[in-house]
Amino acid sequence: MRTGRIAIAHKDYDVRGGGEVLAEELARTFEAPLYVGHGDPANQPDDGEVDVRELAPGSPLHRLMRRDGAIRGIGHMLHWRDNAHAALGEYEVVVTSGNEPLWWLPADRQTVVAYTHSPPRWLYDRYHESEGFVGRTYQQFQRRLYEGAVKRPDLFVANSDLVARRIRRYWSVPDERIRTVYPPVDTAAFSPEDAPTGDYWLALSRLDAAKHTADVVEAVAERGDRLVVAGDGPERERLERLAGPTVEFVGYVDEAEKRELLSGARACVYAAANEDFGMVPVEAMAAGTPVVGVDDGFTAFQVRDGVNGVVFERGALAAALDRFERDGVRWDGDQIAAFARANFSVERFRREMREAVVDAVEAASVEPEWVLPPECVPGDAGEESDAAEQDAGWSGSEGAPVPDRGRDR
């Protein structure tokens, strides 16, 4: 099936986080240019493998997208609405990443595949965290406005089964227009052999309130066990005040250091709130390390209790650490790593995304069912007539011939 010229459209490039890594991998998978709504070249890859193109770089709307909150959201809405068609209109297939590109209105015969990290959290499952009457009213208004835009893709690709459920629930998208493709994790870069198992627990994440690293610090410090905290963020100073002498903060670590820390930990402890997917537990498992993970978000599904880790209810981490110490887990390091490679590899992501695009193009194809009047049927009865009909691309047995259902190319 020919899928035509393909482009990737990602929300922005202010930072280089998990969404940006995924957008880059989409560009590599399809050998396609990567259009970003707004970007900082300092955060973009400089290896030449990905052709990153900023959408309408001279637009005054970039000033709005540098702001925070509602002003930033309005800037993205106007920017994608007004400027995307000139850049994306020439492509037959566009794969979007993030929600902002969905403000763009595709042309009639374009196929759109929307890779969805989650419906906007503040508009839906975190709506009740909005403060005050004005805040909630604004979020409700924005939700109603946005829902008219998100129905346009031919296929939604969710980054986890949990996000697929949100797409069904909040956007009323039918199952046949949703599939799940897990984000690409470079599982081959990790190994149980990267470091011998040591005597420390590991917490690895950005240090902000949503990651609940304070729960990990307090629970491990109370045990008097050694804890290594890798990562940086606004919560670091507060966490250091909470920590005892057995907690070590190592800050941001590069990929080589991360591999060694993950491989050498007795377990990776992960308490983040309601993760859409969660890269860290997968990276830990790829390194052959069990995960003590919270029963929240997609973490609850990545960790199979007693098999590749231990699942704990929020507030009960200390008991989970005790259980891990007492019972361990069923799989050894090689089995845990094999589970990660089988489910979350870059190769699987590429294969399933290519399949998703081919299926979306096929489902979007237009196939009229023509009925020919008798005077248009070529030839006389018999073999010559049958052959002529086949040559013309028509087939049928009784009554008027019907079209051979070839794909619209």
pLDDT value at position 143? Answer: 63
Predicted confidence band of residue 28 (pLDDT cuts 50, 70, 90): very high
pLDDT value at position 259? Answer: 97
Mean pLDDT of 78-105: 92
Q: 100-104, 119-123, 149-153 — which is least confidently predicted?
A: 119-123
Q: 22-26, 129-133, 303-307 — which is least confidently predicted?
A: 129-133
pLDDT value at position 393? Answer: 40
**Is the model more confident about 83 or about 122?**
83
- Can you tell me the distance from the alpha carbon of 349 to that of 333, in angstroms, rounded to the nearest whole number? 23
Predicted confidence band of residue 271 (pLDDT cuts 50, 70, 90): very high
**Is the model more confident about 167 or about 77?**
167
pLDDT value at position 187? Answer: 97
Quick one: what percent of the chain has pLDDT higher than 70? Answer: 85
pLDDT value at position 134? Answer: 65
Mean pLDDT of 14-41: 88
pLDDT value at position 380? Answer: 55
Which domains are assigned to the chain?
6-183+353-359 (3.40.50.2000), 187-343 (3.40.50.2000), 374-403 (no CATH)
Q: 9-13, 269-273, 322-326 — which is least confidently predicted?
A: 9-13
Compute CA distances 399 → 358, 369, 371, 384, 396, whole Å: 34, 14, 9, 18, 8
pLDDT of 124 over the 80 cut: no
pLDDT value at position 135? Answer: 65
pLDDT of 398 over the 60 cut: no
pLDDT value at position 237? Answer: 94
Please list the alpha-helical segments (H only) found in 2-59. 18-30
DSSP string, 281-296: HHHHHHTT--EEEESS
Predicted confidence band of residue 136 (pLDDT cuts 50, 70, 90): low
pLDDT value at position 29? Answer: 96
State pLDDT tens for residues 361-385. 999 998 899 898 988 877 654 444 4
- Going by C-alpha positions, the residue among 76, 155, 145, 80 that lies closest to residue 110 is 155
Q: Which two tokens stand for residue 379?
A: 């030839």
Q: Which helix (H) or strand (E) holds 43?
A: none
Predicted confidence band of residue 74 (pLDDT cuts 50, 70, 90): confident
pLDDT of 205 over the 80 cut: yes
Q: Which helix (H) or strand (E) holds 339?
A: helix 333-344
State pLDDT tens for residues 233-268. 999 999 999 998 999 999 999 999 999 999 999 999
Mean pLDDT of 319-332: 97
pLDDT of 223 over the 50 cut: yes
- Quickly count: other Cβ atoms within 10 Å of residue 200's Cβ: 18
- Going by C-alpha positions, the residue among 193, 342, 357, 162 that lies closest to residue 260 is 193
Q: 55-59, 230-234, 281-285 — which is least confidently predicted?
A: 55-59
Type of residue at 36: V
pLDDT of 397 over the 60 cut: no
pLDDT value at position 129? Answer: 64
